[in-house]
Structure 1
Amino acid sequence: MLTTTLSRPPFATTMPAAVLAALLAFAPQAVAAPAPKAAAAAPAGADVLPFKATEKTLPNGLKVIVVPTGFPNLVSVHIPVQTGSRNEVEPGKSGFAHFFEHMMFRGTPAYPPEKYQAIITKAGARQNAYTSDDLTNYYTTFAKEDLETVLKVEADRFQHLSYPVEAFKTESRAVLGEYNKNSANPMQKLFEVQREAAFSTHTYRHTTMGFLKDIEDMPNQYEYSKVFFDRWYRPERTTVIIAGDVEPAKAVAMVEKYWGAWKRGSFKSNVPAEPAPKGAQYRHVAWQTPTLPLVTVAFRAPAFSDRQKDQAALSMLLSLSFGRTSTLYKRLVQDEQKVDQLFDFVPNRVDPTLATIGARVKKPQDALYVRDAILETVARLRDEPVTAGALADAKSANKYGLIRSLDNTEAIASTLASYVHFERSYGTLNRYYRVVDSLTPADLQAAARKYLVDNAMVVTTLSHEALPAAIGTLPKLADAAQGAKAAGSAADFDVLVQKSALPQIRFKLLFAAGSAHDPKGKEGLAALTAAMVAASGSRERKIDEVTKALFPLAASFSEQTDKEMTTFTGSTHKDNWNQYLGIALPLLVDPGFREEDFRRLKDAQKNALVLDLKDNNEEEFGKERLQANVFAGTPYGHPVLGTAKGIDAITLDDVRNFYRQAYQQGALRVGISGDVSDAMVASLKGALARLPAGTGLPATPALRGRMPNGLEVEIIEKNTRATAISFGLPIEVTRSHPDFAALWLAKTWLGEHRASSARLYQRIREERGLNYGDYAYIEAFPRGMFQFFPNPNLGRKAQLFEVWIRPVAPQNGHFALRAALFELDKLVSGGLSQQDFETTRDYLMKNVFVMTATQDQQLGYALDAQWYRTPEFTRMMREALAKLSVADVNAAIRKHLSSKNLSAVIITRDAAGLKDKLVSDAFSPIAYDAQKPQSLLDEDKQIGALKLGIRPEAVKITPAAEAFAQ
């Protein structure tokens, strides 16, 4: 629930997933319903936000901003506080801004954690928080009738936060667990080293998480924590943003009522200024495990300003020069295929920061070539201005992109929070976009000459293998510049139309084809074919030409492949519909299928499997492995990405053949939403009529995974700091099953994803501080560590009940497994109480609207309902929940779940040692940094002695390198 993020600049639209995993540990999910009124593109110089805000500063300095959005039923409250890692000025005290993001959920005398959580749960709300370099933001989205309640309890915790030393020390263990979780990502380490090289004095020297030595010492800093809170959590540093279905006068009065007594502070900030850089620097990170090399080139960047042009100009310049429409992207990623990721990042920060250009290189020997290509491009930017046309396209994409994102209340409030915090002003974002509108090619060139200079350059590399020796010698940019080289009829299917006033048009094309259709020995073919359709261009246009054509429209065309479905999603503003359709639909109906794109995308898919999943992400790795084990021998028995051997075996002819067989009209479901006209629907159907008639691939048979006999464990041996655990069993319950709502309620009580009210989270993470979170599922949730809600269009004929134990310290792995099984056994044997049943049902009756709030979710869930042959999802769930009894839920638990027959996957370093503990049923002790209640210690003894009865032959050890190899 408690996560750390960095706010993303408006122009960084090309950052790959691996970089986002490091820079954006959690991206807040949009959670509100479509509005009857929506934003339209603003003319140059006009306000980009179409909403009228009410602003008031209370006598104590608290700023209140109320924004009626026109979206019904929901309200989103965001509370950005002007404190982040930038404010951690004392040596040895880094990480405390992020730490308080955690501690703020520890309660007050009036609202201890369980009472506070009960109120949030009763409101059907979802909430979270994030920390950046410059701010900490707390946000909650809920039904409008609960506004006063939410403001009351939020005001209480900001004014009266209270936590004993025991809770403080427990939370410090969780924060260390979060650091350990991030340690598997090489990009995270590279950015740590980059910052230490770039800053000698300013607090931007450390990341939001802080220095490891400071995190490890946090249990000893209880008294300082109170000093930090007293300094920074004050009304004059805080803004309360209230957006949604709200009456401004009443909302302001509520804030005055509950927040007006909060006292101002007196502490004066003294963040040290960073001296001017004294020369180019190079740093290298030697990574212990195999991964692709990383190369970044960074420069000092100006602070954010909504009045001066420098920061906006530099951000725009790098996005144009290194983004997907750039010449260098085409050269390195598409044509030469030396790089599988190229990105730029110019963050909005209070003080001067870093602008970064980075690449993930396929071969170590090419790292020097790639670095020099980046430097050559940087050098040219100082001498050659961008064209007026390219800049105009970028402005258009930027503006339309912002408008596209404002499709729900939480997205609006979240966008505001990321800008409001600078001056606590609603007008900041509008002023900033006026600056963007005013940019000229000369402004961009001036920014290049001022900031892209030798003295301010920091080059950082990371690799497992040796890089060319010359990479440590940095050339002058002038030398790099000198050495640069110039480089028809109606279709036979219905269209589901969800009409609204949103000007953004979104459509989904769902084909009954997925990884379950992969031929044996060609595992990964469905995913690679979809990638080739979406990202290899059409017969008429190469992919770089498609990207350039879509850029000024801020439009997109993307793919998602799962076991039974492949979905293509298109999005554009209604003003650009005809132009967009002519660019995007040929990708599907007349694909280019070029050999160079095939090589590039095949490499990218294998890297996604071997590097991004297996090597750099223990959590998703464990979840995928559990799915594969339970469904071994079935069409679900391999990851959607395939296997290493299967990907290697795929040829371009295989892709062409799969495309011809799978993408036929009879296999297609179509949905479209937004301010859709009949003519738009007709033109979409006309374009899709070019697909061949036919029924597509043969349907996959009904299937079910193998039920384990007792506890069956696979231990994946990997060199890692933490131990990741997933376990589960196959279930026959899908959305079309009569027990779906009952089992959904049970898993919500046991382990709702990213919800701190759930039982597993409370007992393992909150009470014991063992890890970062503990969740349960009855539907597959790919990429769960990156998002709040599952994507739609993941329909499956067979599902898995699963418990996800996020990484724990290795010495606590055995205990954590026992603790989760202990709680599951109590649920299976004892069921839910009437009170737990009613509380969880009340939460779900409201939360079902939150999880289906965005345009994309609503359209996707509607198509899923067609596939499952069920009513619309929210109606189906609310009607089923209303009819449920606690007896129904407990009967479903006993029928479908087990705490004895389970398949488990554990990823850890000492596999043999863990196996000995498991098969010997050795007692598993646990030690705490803080005092715990005797009742918990007594329960620990009971859990530590719990007999699991795991047979030696039921435990298998697999080296990580062998998993998903074939």
Structure 2
Amino acid sequence: MKTFVRSTLALALATAFLPAISVHAQDKAAPGQVATAAKAVKPGQKTADLLPFHATEKLLPNGLKIIIVPTGLPNIISLHIPVQTGSRNEIEEGKSGFAHFFEHMMFRGTKDIPADKYKDILTATGARQNAYTSDDLTNYHTTFSKEDLETMLRIEADRFQNLSYSEADFKTESRAVLGEYNKNSANPISKLFEVMRDAAYQKHTYKHTTMGFLKDIEDMPNQYAYSKVFFDRWYRPERTTVIIAGDVEPQKAIALVEKYWGKWQRGKVQPAVPAEPPATGAIYKHVPWPSPTLPYVTVAFHAPAFSEVNKEHAALRLLLNLSFGSTSALNKRLQQDEQKVDQLFDFTPDNVDPGLATIGARVKKPEDVVYVRDAILKTVAGITAKPLSDKELADAKSALKYGVIRSLDNTEQIASTLVRFVHYKRSYATMNQFYQLIDSLTPADLQAAAKKYLSDDSMIVTTLSNTALPAEVSQLPKLASFADKSTGAKFDMLVQKSALPQIRFKLVFNAGAANDPAGKEGLAALTAAMVDAAGSKERKIDEIKKALFPLAASFNGLTDKEMTTFSGSVHKDKWDDLINIALPQLLEPGFREEDFRRLKDAQKNALTLDLKDNNEEELAKERLQTNVFAASPYAHPVLGTIKGIDAITLDDVKQFWKQAYTKGALKVGISGDVTEAMQASLQQALAKLPEGAGIARIAAPVGKVSKGLEVEIIEKNTRATAISLGQPITVTRAHPDFAALWLAKTWLGEHRASSSHLYQRIREVRGMNYGDYAYIEAFPGGMFQFFPTANRARQSQLFEIWIRPVAPENAQMAIRVALTEFDRMVNKGLSKEEFEITRAYLMKNVFMMTATQDQQLGYAMDSQWHHTPEFTKMMRDNLSKLSLAGVNAAIKKHLSAENLSVVIIAKDAADLKAKLVADAESPIKYNSDKPRELLDEDQIIGKRKLNIKAEAVSITPASKVFAD
């Protein structure tokens, strides 16, 4: 389950120009009326509507809103059920976090369909399901095959109307919610936004983030009675919309919704959210951070609420993105030219009530924080004094239009985008109206919004650092003080032709981090960055960004162990522009010294800060990979090592580019409404690449098989304990046993799926953490995504179990539970029922993995690399041929629950080592009653001998990890 917490940089960047979820309980259609949302368009008449679909809407007598959107894409339906309830509705003091909490509790089931039965139904349908909570909304979404629509509407209606949970279940889930808070606690930007919001608001519930205040989360186990009040108050049909998008017949779908949802009763009048009084003066807050990190500074202003009628909100967010986004002059100056910051971002959320518009930066040196803050304030002062040009605004509007269109390439994304707009007024028309409003904006509108909202009285400045900042940072200057006082070759090309107007291409080179020279670890990644983020010989990177901006086009790179992929995306109308602007970055890189210094710093920060210091989960996973493949070309992260990055020179980058990115090392793929002319122009451009076969392919790395359990404890000042364990396997997609092991790992620990066995035994039953998963292919970045990223094909792989952070006192028990369940699978195998259910799930789920245009092209390129058939066909064919005996035999052949490498991120490493070596019983305490059989099982598991020898446990300070 996802939690949309506004206080993350990732969300701020990911949601640029797409309104966050907000709500107004208004409907134009009378109860029972069916309306077609799209307007009739006469032949030859132009329409300003952005959405190309015809939607059908109906408001039921009980207040439930239905929106049906046939997308024209076959086989799949995406069901979204947004409820107008978020952290904004947590109006009682001491009760923050309940909207997010119910995102969890809604998966606890009902009397008729308890959680286990609900999970079994989802598994049988092959569906992928999740939910998220924002300030203003909780959305439950499921994507599945069209034939399962009635089943999904029936079970969803049951849990919305008949949710049932015991006090024990309530308390168990509270541990998981606390675990999620602990998981987020390693991210400094989360804490900074939490402090900023607390300071900015006096009465309004935006004072707390979606997660809620820590003291309230810790007190949740005592709030069982209040939870019933909250649910009864806010989960009602008049606050809920059922959105069905995909391969759907509107009238049949509406009839099914009426059948299962029509008897749901309206609620009582809900209490009002307290209004925030006007701001009365500038505020400064500082957040001392206990772990090493670069300092942050944010400048926020009270901003208007979302509106598709009033121009102020749209004008302000557009202006701030132009002034502080990736194409802005300030971004070029601070990040590229002066290299004072490695991140500059803006975030103007689209809340139902007035929110905070924020500009922020991560600063490289503490002594530059004041300089960067003042540069932001000077830019703010400038945009209030001088309007943008017509061209700048026109380019921004163009980027918005094409940016949205290019994302609408699959049913789930269409429904997800629609949800962001529907629930302001529970109307399909809101999205089109919002973009029509954008079209109407003038430079004067943007300047007027700036003058009204970007003022000293409404300003909140927040800083975060691990070390002391200059004393003057707390002395906020007036904005007026910054006022301007002056008057040829052919390549094999995989073509996936479709009707989609967005053209995507991938250039896959057989070169990656495994080809880094000794002592220069990180060279492959830095070379790719110098291609996609440092400009071409003709254009600097800021000029390229500005040129691509009105096209809503992109060109970026991805480096892995054995391949580097450059992906481009653009609307078909702008194909020639992308080829002429972006491809020269690969063909004739700029190789400027200032870009090299900037990107080298950024890569080192990504390794030391973003991975090592701020992300225990990904650190443990990455360290496990390098430990298992020690003394092989896989023995360092793709980002490299600190010593290796320091040693890289610009000449090293130039040489690697010349050797790696050659014609002979390249595979090309392209998809969308592709013409022969497009293929020819791409061929012609790529003919400028250097000649040659490229870097020789490495021999398949041989992983180290541990003798028993070999443990590395990385000592770090952290609130929770992260654990990853695994072993090398020779099974890749080209191996005959791949489908069998894929099925086994799916049953044991499907990524981010509550149906997985480990998830059920560790997270659901015991409430020990946020989730537990298993893999047979490397899955970096797993905490940020639901499906594997394509173009990470490898000759050697790793079986891995990922135990998400647990309370330190439960670390040993978590390992014992995981090994007990893993050992059960290895030695006893799957049952016939487990085999059949999991195979049926995978037969459908494989379509979810390749649902988007980018995934389809990426998986196809990977199939070329592995020399295998198209992925979905290969998997379905091989799954259909599997037998239970064959799967269990493959498990025994390739996996062992005894010989494993383990990586643990923990605070008190010496104490944990002593406990592991002592092998004493590890009890677990619950804050609610548990079944006798579980307690008996805990006693047995708690005494399970791990047999870890003292010499098999090493302790490494976090500062030493990936140092050389």
Q: The TM-score by the shorter chain falls in which range?
A: over 0.9
Out of 888, 891, 895, which is 2:886 matched to?
Answer: 888
Q: Secondary structure of 1:860's match?
A: helix
1:490 positional shift: 2.6
Which AA in structure 1 matches 2:672? G
Q: Equivalent residue for 1:4?
A: 3
CA contact (8 A) 1:6 1:23 kept: no
Looking at structure 2, the residues matched to 49 and 255 of structure 1 have their Cα atoms a distance apart, in angstroms, of: 24
Q: Identity, % of aligned pairs? A: 71
1:737 positional shift: 0.4
Say whether 1:312 aligns with 2:314: yes
Q: Equivalent residue for 1:514?
A: 512
Q: Secondary structure of 2:499's match?
A: coil
Say whether 1:195 aligns with 2:189: no
Q: How does 1:351-370 map to 2 (within 5 A)?
A: 351-370=353-372
Out of 702, 705, 715, which is 2:703 matched to?
Answer: 705
Q: Equivalent residue for 2:269?
A: 267
Looking at structure 2, the residues matched to 19 and 906 of structure 1 have their Cα atoms a distance apart, in angstroms, of: 31
Post-superposition Cα deviations, 1:21-67, rounded to whole Å, max 9, x if no partner, equal: 9999xx99xxxxxxxxxxxxx99961111100000000000000000
Post-superposition Cα deviations, 1:306-337, rounded to whole Å, max 9, x if no partner, equal: 11100000000000000111110010000000
Looking at structure 1, the residues matched to 177 and 723 of structure 2 have their Cα atoms a distance apart, in angstroms, of: 18
Looking at structure 2, the residues matched to 20 and 183 of structure 1 have their Cα atoms a distance apart, in angstroms, of: 20
CA contact (8 A) 1:22 1:188 kept: no
CA contact (8 A) 2:5 2:211 kept: no
Looking at structure 2, the residues matched to 473 and 591 of structure 1 have their Cα atoms a distance apart, in angstroms, of: 44
Looking at structure 2, the residues matched to 290 and 710 of structure 1 have their Cα atoms a distance apart, in angstroms, of: 35
Q: Secondary structure of 2:368's match?
A: helix
1:482 positional shift: 4.5
CA contact (8 A) 1:19 1:187 kept: no
Q: Equivalent residue for 2:236?
A: 234
CA contact (8 A) 1:852 1:858 kept: yes
Q: How does 1:44-193 map to 2 (within 5 A)?
A: 46-193=48-195
1:352 positional shift: 0.2
Looking at structure 2, the residues matched to 22 and 310 of structure 1 have their Cα atoms a distance apart, in angstroms, of: 19
Q: Equivalent residue for 2:447?
A: 445
CA contact (8 A) 1:21 1:786 kept: no
Looking at structure 1, the residues matched to 15 and 248 of structure 2 have their Cα atoms a distance apart, in angstroms, of: 36
Out of 325, 328, 331, which is 2:330 matched to?
Answer: 328
* Residues 718 and 18 (structure 1), Cα distance of their counterparts in 2 relative to 1, 3 Å cut: farther
Looking at structure 2, the residues matched to 623 and 83 of structure 1 have their Cα atoms a distance apart, in angstroms, of: 35
CA contact (8 A) 1:195 1:204 kept: yes
Out of 455, 476, 479, which is 1:477 matched to?
Answer: 479
CA contact (8 A) 2:321 2:346 kept: yes
Q: Equivalent residue for 2:570?
A: 572
Looking at structure 1, the residues matched to 241 and 5 of structure 2 have their Cα atoms a distance apart, in angstroms, of: 19
Say whether 1:622 aligns with 2:620: yes
Say whether 1:496 aligns with 2:494: yes
Which AA in structure 2 matches 1:63? K
1:481 positional shift: 2.0
Q: Equivalent residue for 2:930?
A: 932
CA contact (8 A) 1:60 1:262 kept: yes
Structure 1 unmatched ranges of 5 or more: 9-14, 29-41
Q: Equivalent residue for 1:412?
A: 414
Which AA in structure 1 matches 2:396? A
Which AA in structure 1 matches 2:862? D
Q: Equivalent residue for 1:867?
A: 865
Looking at structure 2, the residues matched to 950 and 918 of structure 1 have their Cα atoms a distance apart, in angstroms, of: 7
Q: Secondary structure of 1:775's match?
A: strand
Post-superposition Cα deviations, 1:608-630, rounded to whole Å, max 9, x if no partner, equal: 00000000000000000000000
**TM-score, normalization: structure 2?**
0.96
Q: Secondary structure of 1:570's match?
A: strand
Q: Equivalent residue for 1:529?
A: 527
Number of residue pairs the alignment of both structures matches: 940
CA contact (8 A) 1:285 1:461 kept: yes
Q: How does 1:556-635 map to 2 (within 5 A)?
A: 556-635=554-633
1:17 positional shift: 4.4
1:16 positional shift: 6.2
Which AA in structure 2 matches 1:4? T
Out of 676, 679, 683, which is 1:678 matched to?
Answer: 676
Q: Secondary structure of 2:582's match?
A: helix
Q: Secondary structure of 2:424's match?
A: helix
Out of 640, 643, 646, which is 1:648 matched to?
Answer: 646
Looking at structure 2, the residues matched to 703 and 130 of structure 1 have their Cα atoms a distance apart, in angstroms, of: 40
CA contact (8 A) 2:12 2:347 kept: no
Post-superposition Cα deviations, 1:63-91, rounded to whole Å, max 9, x if no partner, equal: 00000000000000000000000000000
Higher relative contact order (CA 8 A, sep 6+): 1
Q: How does 1:909-928 map to 2 (within 5 A)?
A: 909-928=907-926
Which AA in structure 2 matches 1:481? A
Say whether 1:459 aligns with 2:457: no
CA contact (8 A) 1:44 1:437 kept: no
* Residues 775 and 706 (structure 1), Cα distance of their counterparts in 2 relative to 1, 3 Å cut: same
Structure 2 unmatched ranges of 5 or more: 22-43
Q: Equivalent residue for 1:945?
A: 943
Q: How does 1:287-306 map to 2 (within 5 A)?
A: 287-306=289-308
Looking at structure 1, the residues matched to 254 and 318 of structure 2 have their Cα atoms a distance apart, in angstroms, of: 37
Q: How does 1:759-770 map to 2 (within 5 A)?
A: 759-770=757-768
Q: Equivalent residue for 1:39?
A: none
Looking at structure 1, the residues matched to 79 and 154 of structure 2 have their Cα atoms a distance apart, in angstroms, of: 12
Q: Secondary structure of 2:284's match?
A: strand
Looking at structure 1, the residues matched to 225 and 482 of structure 2 have their Cα atoms a distance apart, in angstroms, of: 53
Which AA in structure 2 matches 1:314? L
Q: Equivalent residue for 1:541?
A: 539
Looking at structure 2, the residues matched to 908 and 782 of structure 1 have their Cα atoms a distance apart, in angstroms, of: 20
Which AA in structure 2 matches 1:472? S
Post-superposition Cα deviations, 1:72-130, rounded to whole Å, max 9, x if no partner, equal: 00000000000000000000000000000000000000100010011111111000000
Q: Equivalent residue for 1:32?
A: none
1:594 positional shift: 0.3
1:774 positional shift: 0.1
CA contact (8 A) 1:728 1:800 kept: yes
Post-superposition Cα deviations, 1:189-220, rounded to whole Å, max 9, x if no partner, equal: 00000001100100000000000000000000
Q: Secondary structure of 2:419's match?
A: helix
1:418 positional shift: 1.0
Q: Secondary structure of 2:726's match?
A: strand
1:7 positional shift: 7.7
Which AA in structure 1 matches 2:644? G
Q: Secondary structure of 2:174's match?
A: helix
RMSD: 1.6
Q: Secondary structure of 2:671's match?
A: strand
Out of 336, 347, 350, which is 1:348 matched to?
Answer: 350
Q: Secondary structure of 1:127's match?
A: strand
Q: Secondary structure of 2:372's match?
A: helix
Looking at structure 1, the residues matched to 433 and 271 of structure 2 have their Cα atoms a distance apart, in angstroms, of: 26
CA contact (8 A) 1:18 1:187 kept: no
Q: Secondary structure of 1:75's match?
A: strand
Looking at structure 1, the residues matched to 675 and 101 of structure 2 have their Cα atoms a distance apart, in angstroms, of: 50
CA contact (8 A) 1:45 1:437 kept: no
Looking at structure 1, the residues matched to 196 and 670 of structure 2 have their Cα atoms a distance apart, in angstroms, of: 45
Q: How does 1:729-740 map to 2 (within 5 A)?
A: 729-740=727-738
Q: Equivalent residue for 1:793?
A: 791
Out of 895, 898, 901, which is 1:900 matched to?
Answer: 898
Looking at structure 2, the residues matched to 920 and 265 of structure 1 have their Cα atoms a distance apart, in angstroms, of: 57
**TM-score, normalization: structure 1?**
0.96
Post-superposition Cα deviations, 1:777-806, rounded to whole Å, max 9, x if no partner, equal: 000001000000011000001000000000
